[in-house]
Structure 1
Amino acid sequence: MNIALVGYGKMGKAIEEIALQHGHQVVLKITIDNTEDMTIENLQKADVAIEFTGPESAADNLRKCFDAGVPVVCGSTGWLDKWDEIKNICLAKNSAMVYASNYSIGVNLFFELNKYLSKLMKAYETYDVKMEEIHHTQKKDAPSGTAITLAEQILENIQTKKGWVNHPSNNHQELEIISVRTDPAPGIHKIKYTSDIDDIEIIHTAHNRIGFAGGAVKAAEFIKGKKGIFSMKDVLGL
């Protein structure tokens, strides 16, 4: 399979290493220094594009991939205010996209665990729930896209919480997310239910970027030849 890497930072390089191990070819690498090379002609050399950039460029990059008729795996976060627009363009162009806030297989299992735990806990209002996420200092968005996904899952079930905030809060209706930026830290997400009697806590700790990169390559293998919009739940058959 021929892959275009839109974004060739630390994550892009990790994805390239895994892709080559799987026998794929990287036919295009787009960085901040060669954006002019992201043309329809160059994109069409690829079977799939993998897009890991930032919130300021992700939506435009996705549009270009759809214009080229190339399915895309998107791991950029912080751009979901444009989700409806991008989804409609993808469907109108009869293209395909996998979007996930996190491509780690472990994190996606953690998502399922978080949903199940929040369903159990909704009957026990004596517990309060709070979150913390820790990432490296180069991470541009806070809270992380993964933390937002986890928070939204909790809000679906814990009816006493009306929304999340990214700061300490004494308001019982707010789900507190504390964001910490320190090096080195590929990613830690903590969810803690606290009562006067005890605590219940689940934690996911990433040791490196290999899990994220491997999941992105798995998603690229999944989406080749497909049409529509998919998630890692589809990729993993969860």
Structure 2
Amino acid sequence: MKLAIVGYGKMGRLLDSLAPEYGMETALKLDEFNNADYAGITREAFEGIDVAIDFSTPEAVVPNVERIAALGVNMVIGTTGWNEQMDRVKQLTEDHGVGLVWSPNFSIGVNIFSRVVTEAARWMAIQPGYEAWAYEIHHSQKKDAPSGTLLKLTEDMRKAGYQRRIDVASNRAGAHPGTHEIGFDSAADTIELRHIARSREGFARGALAAARWVVGRKGFHEFSEVLFQ
């Protein structure tokens, strides 16, 4: 299975090193130099590519999808910070008949954590004495704040029925790989739910699992489908 990595930074290099464990060969690596103005996304470059994984930049996601989907290549998108253009990406996926897996966080642990948070929010929705907060911290190079993961967690809480105010906060400092925390507080007690990432490896392994899963599929999918269906 031949893989294209779009965005060859820290995550891209980690994907490259782990790809053989998932039966993949990295056949194309695109970075800010060989893909300036998207010049690296050509039919010739993508000849024989089975799937592409995008860990680029928020502003590059839609142009990348436009060009790669037009070549008929399925994709996994791990880049965050472009949620306002989600409908456009879904439409491109449908128009070109390709498969795409998206997630704000490809960590298996975070996705299980999300299920726990959703269930807690469902129960807390009927307990008016509790107020909620959502907090995250990441390394100083992460551009979007709050993180896409935290936004998705609070969205899931709303969908579960928790309609009261959720106080949201973020920090960016050092080399922290990522911590997400959801809390509920009352006059009587406090409940804290927390996920702490130790490295980027969990994100890379999840993205590679999604890439292997999406080959041969069509439509827009979330990572939860890969894990739980």
Deviation at 1:11, TM superposition (A): 0.8
**How high is the sequence identity, in percent, across the aligned residues?**
37
Aligned residue identity for 1:226: R
Residue 183 (structure 1) shift: 1.4
Residue by residue over 1:132-178, the C-alpha shift from the partner in whole angstroms, topping out at 9 and shown as x without a partner, is: 100000001000000000010112234443xxxxxxxxxxx3x2211
Structure 1 residue aligned with 2:122: 119
Cα–Cα, structure 1 residues 160 and 94, in superposed 2: closer, same or farther, change >3 Å?
closer
Aligned to 1:211: 202
Deviations 1:85-104, CA, capped at 9 Å, x for gaps: 21112111111100101001
**Structure 1 counterpart of 2:130, one-letter code:** Y
2:49 is the alignment partner of 1:46: yes
**Aligned equivalents of 1:84 and 1:12: distance in 2?**
26
Per the alignment, residue 9 of structure 1 pairs with 9
Contact 2:101 2:210 in 1 (8 A): yes
- 2:4 maps to a residue whose letter is A
Partner secondary structure for residue 64 of structure 1: helix
Segments of 4+ moved more than 3 angstroms: 157-160
Aligned to 1:191: 182
Letter in 2 for 1:27: A
Q: Deviations over 1:205-236 (max 9, x none)?
A: 00001100000000000001111111111111
What is the SS of the residue equivalent to 1:197?
A: coil
Q: Determine which of 135, 138, 143 is the counterpart of 2:141.
A: 138
**What corresponds to 2:154 in structure 1?**
151
Unaligned 5+ segments in structure 1 are 162-172
Separation in structure 2 between the aligned mates of residue 228 and residue 236 of structure 1, nearest angstrom: 17
Query: Conserved in 1, the CA contact under 8 Å of 2:5 and 2:30?
Result: yes
Q: TM-score, normalised by structure 2?
A: 0.95
1:1-238 counterparts in 2 under 5 A? 1-35=1-35, 36-161=39-164, 173=165, 175-238=166-229
Quote the RMSD (CA, aligned, Å).
Answer: 1.2
Aligned residues: 226
- Match of 2:58, SS? coil
Q: Does the residue aligned with 2:59 lie in a helix, a strand or coil? A: coil
Structure 1 residue 3 displacement after superposition:
0.2
Q: Which letter does structure 2 place at the counterpart of 1:121? A: M
Q: CA deviation at 1:43?
A: 2.1
Query: Aligned equivalents of 1:193 and 1:9: distance in 2?
Result: 37
User: Could you state the TM-score of these two structures normalised by the residue count of structure 1?
Assistant: 0.92
What SS does structure 1 have at the residue aligned with 2:187? coil
Letter in 2 for 1:85: R
C-alpha distance in 1 between matches for 2:110 and 2:142:
17
8 A contact 1:44–1:69 mirrored in 2:
no
